[in-house]
Structure 1
Amino acid sequence: MGFSALVASALCTFLLPLLLFLAAVKLWDLYCVSSRDPSCPLPLPPGTMGLPFFGETLQMVLQRRKFLQMKRRKYGFIYKTHLFGRPTVRVMGAENVRHILLGEHRLVSVQWPASVRTILGSGCLSNLHNGQHKHRKKVIMRAFSRDALQHYVPVIQEEVSACLARWLGAAGPCLLVYPEVKRLMFRIAMRILLGFQPCQASPDGEQQLVEAFEEMIRNLFSLPIDVPFSGLYRGLRARNIIHAKIEENIRAKMARKEPEGGYKDALQLLMEHTQGNGEQLNMQGLLCSPNQEKQLDMEVLEQLKYTGCVIKETLRLSPPVPGGFRIALKTLELNGYQIPKGWNVIYSICDTHDVADLFTNKDEFNPDRFMSPSPEDSSRFSFIPFGGGLRSCVGKEFAKVLLKIFTVELARSCDWQLLNGPPTMKTGPIVYPVDNLPTKFIGFSGQI
């Protein structure tokens, strides 16, 4: 082969792909610039859009909070990026988030990534809009009223007490608490929300549901490609396992006239409401007492003010989800920038907590900061662990009750030591401890 042939071969092998890549990058830049609304005089927020077609999704998925912190340091409280196949503006800070959350149905509307919509289903509350969302939320809130929560308290306390007894009786120098807590919370959810009784789920069957739920959550934010072994495929398969079990439970409930266990679970309340109003129950739309001296109820729990502050401080430092997704219904102005119509908007919960001027010594765990005055009263969008506005989490009061009961039972039943010290937390997509929290427990008897 002659010299000219070698040069031509080298050009085809190395130079041509490079030129094609550079051309793609240039076209990508032009596309990103052209998506700006020319009728609005304001500039787009600062930021980068990443690689052609892929955007910055891979960096965000792999680096998570490290990637987001780098972006915040470089671009501030509002910046543009390209995530999950769409141009996106990420927003943080109480005033900016307030503008987004209070603009629901007027400036923005909920729109989660395609993989989330596919796995959760179009009938899920988080995917409904306008009147449908308002009606469905009103129905679901019946299952989280104060009266309903009062009925749930003894069941939660029973499960927590039994779990702590197992932990104290476990052999070995330590217990990996995080997977154990996940199993406990899932078991409580199955009983309280879906009416599963302990005898209905064998350990193997319960573990299968726990693993299916974790697999579904793990693959919520994945590429919207439903092929074998893809994240979306695995997420849908896990969802179908859970749906099959719930459907089996619904059939059993419809065959019974009276609820088991002496209380009505959330699913029972929703079934009664939908049947009483002649509505159909859409599967994708739902998702022995302790001794009297230890009995908790809503009145007692509401008096535990400092316990509530401990829970709030925990949620401030580690909110359960990092943020929420919206889509701009029209080109809107935010803090000197434009967000074009059709762009995704992500409001950040964790970053909003991090940058809130309301909190001093932000890295310090200090429940006293929530004693008085309450941050929610003076600046309610500085503290948004459950979101805010029309789409705040429907189960937030249930979550607070559950966390209070767990905290009380843990504090009066045993002492404990985190063997690795304060945990390192990661997000994927929910917050979790990297080391699974190896813990040593020491039992004692105590009162509230």
Structure 2
Amino acid sequence: MELYVSIFSVSIITMLVIWVHRWRNPKCNGKLPPGSMGLPLLGETLQFFKPDTSNDLQPFVKERVKRYGPIFKTSLVGQPVIISTDQELNDFVFQQEGNLFQSWYPETFMEIFGQDSAAALHGYIHKYIKNLVLKLFGPESLRERLLHDVEKSARLSLCLWSEESSVELKDAISTGRKKVMKLLKDILAERMNSPNRKCIDFFDCVVKELKKEKPVITEAIALDLMFVLLFASFETTSSALTLAIKFLSENPEVLEELTKEHEAILGNRKYPDSGITWQEYKSMNFTFQVIHETTRLANIVPGIFRKAMKEIHVNGYTIPAGWGVMVCPPAVHLNPRIYEDPLLFNPWRWKGKSELSGGSKNFMAFGGGVRFCVGADFSKLQMAIFLHCLVTKYRWKPVKGGNIIRTPGLGFPDGYHIQISQKRMK
């Protein structure tokens, strides 16, 4: 009996050793990038999500780049992943979407965004959805409607906040986000029951599509899409604006230059209190430099995920079919070979740079390739208009908080509380 138990124990141990060996040494027809797969099943997930309190590249990536180089393998939430901090490979991944790569996010991310969200859609339906969204965030909509809506909202919010003893900036900017799904469902149901309504806004365009005999999208896709759009707008813009105001508070020379630009806009108007025009918005050159420098340092999106659709050979390495690939924007944004003193908040570094009108290999705050964020221009407009209303009419001082934490996304664990007051008229 003891002999059988011993044989069984040895067999189990042998099987475990083989399993662990296979986990740490995945099959590959070529040469995998260097790196560690971590513990079986768990991989290096805990190290990846370990909190950090600096603006620098997260230790997980920084340590592995130093050890393995700009491209390395790991395992996150049970999925083998190649992490790239290499500009050329990043660009290759973006440009080859639909051919060699497709959009993909780990299951934990998809539980947040929804299984039918835009991040999970591919090919024709993704292109269709993108064109639909552009009707909401396209240049004509920004110029004709959203510019005035955003200014009205910013002015009202700042007026209300100036009456408070202090406000927690990020939560104040993103008020309403906790009830967005119920609100979306209610609005969609109301529009679906409104016959012969003209196509005025994005909801109307969605309803028109859903009422077709053979709609391209489902109601679930529509709701998930709108939630992702609002989530992106609320979370990313509120975090970026909070960080921008923190940077302005800590860098008075930047605030002075920004204020000069916006006071000059008021000074050139016939009626100082008239609304912002499209021409004025497009003239906010230093403001756009502040926005780009903020988003470069914010690194709100720590990783952009894709999945290899087939076996891929690149840079002397093999990426097996089905493996995830994570493009790491912070590694580019904080690279001292690309940006001098990369941790320094210096909006002047963007003067005359082409990245101000889009993205590049060196600037990926809004993604890249066919999935370059369709809401990028709307986010910039929100930030620019808010800053205009703030610096021309108000002054503020930090009250408490302002510490950041990355897990690996940007957060403010104790908030950022400021006191806002109206400027005295000269």
Smaller-chain TM-score bracket: 0.7 to 0.9
Q: Could you tell me which residue of structure 1 aligns to residue 178 of structure 2?
A: 211
Among candidates 177, 197, 205, match of residue 169 of structure 2? 177
Shift of 1:308: 0.7
Tell whether 2:43 aligns with 1:51: no
Shift of 1:278: 6.2
Number of equivalent positions: 368
Please tell me the root mean square deviation across aligned C-alpha atoms, in Å: 3.3
Give the partner amino acid of 2:163. G
Paired residues of 2:359 and 2:366 also in contact (CA < 8 A) = no
Show CA shifts across 1:173-205 (max 9, x none).
x4322221221xxxxxxxxxxxxxxxxxxxxxx
Q: Could you tell me which residue of structure 1 aligns to residue 191 of structure 2?
A: 253
Tell whether 2:159 aligns with 1:158: no
TM-score between both structures, scaled by the size of structure 1: 0.73
Tell whether 2:221 aligns with 1:284: yes
Q: Could you tell me which residue of structure 2 aligns to residue 217 of structure 1?
A: none
Shift of 1:153: 1.6
Paired residues of 1:414 and 1:442 also in contact (CA < 8 A) = yes
Q: Could you tell me which residue of structure 2 aligns to residue 31 of structure 1?
A: 23
Paired residues of 1:332 and 1:338 also in contact (CA < 8 A) = yes
**Structure-to-structure mapping, 1:251-330, within 5 angstroms:** 251-256=189-194, 264-272=200-208, 275=211, 279=215, 282-285=219-222, 286-287=225-226, 293-330=273-310
**Structure-to-structure mapping, 1:353-432, within 5 angstroms:** 353-355=333-335, 357-375=337-355, 380-419=360-399, 423-428=402-407, 430-432=409-411
SS in 2 for 1:418: strand
Q: Could you tell me which residue of structure 1 aligns to residue 95 of structure 2?
A: 102
Alpha carbons of structure 1 residues 282 and 84: separation in structure 2 relative to 1, 3 Å: same
Shift of 1:258: 9.3
Alpha carbons of structure 1 residues 95 and 167: separation in structure 2 relative to 1, 3 Å: same
Paired residues of 2:51 and 2:406 also in contact (CA < 8 A) = no
Shift of 1:411: 1.0
Paired residues of 1:25 and 1:52 also in contact (CA < 8 A) = no
**Structure-to-structure mapping, 1:230-249, within 5 angstroms:** 242-249=180-187
Tell whether 2:38 aligns with 1:67: no
The answer to which of 435-444 and 88-97 deviates more is 435-444
TM-score between both structures, scaled by the size of structure 2: 0.77
Tell whether 2:89 aligns with 1:88: no
Q: Distance in 2 between matches of 1:379 and 1:414?
A: 32
The answer to which of 105-114 and 276-285 deviates more is 276-285
Shift of 1:377: 8.2
Q: Distance in 1 between matches of 2:218 and 2:22?
A: 48
Give the partner amino acid of 1:284. I
Tell whether 2:329 aligns with 1:349: yes
Show CA shifts across 1:208-260 (max 9, x none).
xx336xxxxxxxxxxxxxxxxxxxxxxxxxxxxx5443121112234457989
* Ranges in structure 2 where 5+ consecutive residues have no aligned partner: 1-5, 53-57, 227-270
Alpha carbons of structure 1 residues 164 and 107: separation in structure 2 relative to 1, 3 Å: same
Q: Could you tell me which residue of structure 2 aligns to residue 6 of structure 1?
A: none
Alpha carbons of structure 1 residues 410 and 23: separation in structure 2 relative to 1, 3 Å: farther
Tell whether 2:72 aligns with 1:79: yes
Q: Distance in 2 between matches of 1:148 and 1:392?
A: 19
Tell whether 2:421 aligns with 1:442: yes
Give the partner amino acid of 1:253. R
Q: Distance in 1 between matches of 2:416 and 2:100?
A: 42
The answer to which of 64-73 and 153-162 deviates more is 64-73
Show CA shifts across 1:148-181 (max 9, x none).
112012221111111111211103xx43222212
Shift of 1:264: 4.0
Alpha carbons of structure 1 residues 115 and 373: separation in structure 2 relative to 1, 3 Å: closer
Alpha carbons of structure 1 residues 61 and 406: separation in structure 2 relative to 1, 3 Å: same
Q: Distance in 1 between matches of 2:41 and 2:17?
A: 10
Shift of 1:427: 3.1
Q: Could you tell me which residue of structure 1 aligns to residue 265 of structure 2?
A: none
Among candidates 116, 120, 126, match of residue 123 of structure 1? 116
Shift of 1:356: 6.2
SS in 2 for 1:355: coil
Give the partner amino acid of 1:160. A
Give the partner amino acid of 2:188. I
The answer to which of 380-389 and 144-153 deviates more is 144-153
Paired residues of 2:74 and 2:81 also in contact (CA < 8 A) = yes
Alpha carbons of structure 1 residues 302 and 166: separation in structure 2 relative to 1, 3 Å: same
Shift of 1:49: 0.9
Shift of 1:334: 3.0
Tell whether 2:161 aligns with 1:167: yes
Alpha carbons of structure 1 residues 259 and 315: separation in structure 2 relative to 1, 3 Å: farther
Alpha carbons of structure 1 residues 96 and 317: separation in structure 2 relative to 1, 3 Å: same
Show CA shifts across 1:402-445 (max 9, x none).
11111111111211223458x44323464222331122323205
Q: Distance in 2 between matches of 1:400 and 1:377?
A: 10
Q: Distance in 2 between matches of 1:155 and 1:272?
A: 24
Give the partner amino acid of 2:410. V
Identity %: 24
Show CA shifts across 1:265-296 (max 9, x none).
43234434665796365233331xxx983412
* Ranges in structure 1 where 5+ consecutive residues have no aligned partner: 1-11, 184-205, 213-241
Show CA shifts across 1:321-361 (max 9, x none).
11211111122233232211111101111222112633111
Q: Distance in 2 between matches of 1:295 and 1:378?
A: 26
